[in-house]
Amino acid sequence: MRIGELAKQAGTTTRALRFYESQGLLSAHREANGYRDYSDGDARLVEEILTLQAVGFSLEDTRPFVECLRAGHETGDSCTDSIDVYRRRLAEIDALLAQLSAVRASLADRLTAAQAKHGDSCC
């Protein structure tokens, strides 16, 4: 299929597909006239990239999943490197949640202290 067809099928743009290709995540066979020709397997790669990006993965984070699919695995998370990305991202999210929880607790403490000093008489 041509680039426009793949973009439409995947729900993305031709520009995004060209960028994925420039980053080595996608590759197209070139026809004699220079047009890009993509396979159904390429459509699966784009689907995987878009799904992972929708849940907050960076483009670089998608690389192990794409490579896993290219290696012939049924799913992009069948490989150790993909599992490692899941673990790393979860650890990053856990750290952010802990940081937000600490900020929230501090803010709640400040609110309680402010209310104790001023009661309901402020403003």
Sequence spans of domains, the chain: 3-118
Decide: 102 and 70 in contact? Cβ < 8 Å. no
Identity of the amino acid at 30? R
Is the pTM here over 0.75, yes or no?
A: yes
Q: Which of these, 66, 67, 49, lies nearest to 58 by C-alpha position?
A: 49
Percentage of residues of the chain with pLDDT beyond 90: 87
Length of the chain: 123
> pLDDT averaged over the chain?
94
Written as six digits, the tokens of 86 are 């899941």
Q: Which of these, 11, 13, 69, 61, lies nearest to 45 by C-alpha position?
A: 69
Residue 119: what pLDDT? 72
Distance in angstroms (rounded) separating the CA atoms of residues 122 and 114: 10
Q: What is the pLDDT of residues 23-65, one digit of tens each?
A: 999 998 999 998 899 999 999 999 999 999 999 999 999 999 9
Q: Is residue 123 pLDDT above 70, yes or no?
A: no
Query: Is residue 33 classed as helix, strand or coil in its secondary structure?
Result: coil
Decide: 16 and 24 in contact? Cβ < 8 Å. no
Q: What value, to the nearest 5°, has the Cα angle with vertex 10 and ends 5 and 16?
A: 85
Decide: 80 and 86 in contact? Cβ < 8 Å. no
Q: Which option is the CATH number for 3-118: 3.40.440.10, 1.10.1660.10, 3.40.50.300, 3.80.10.10? A: 1.10.1660.10
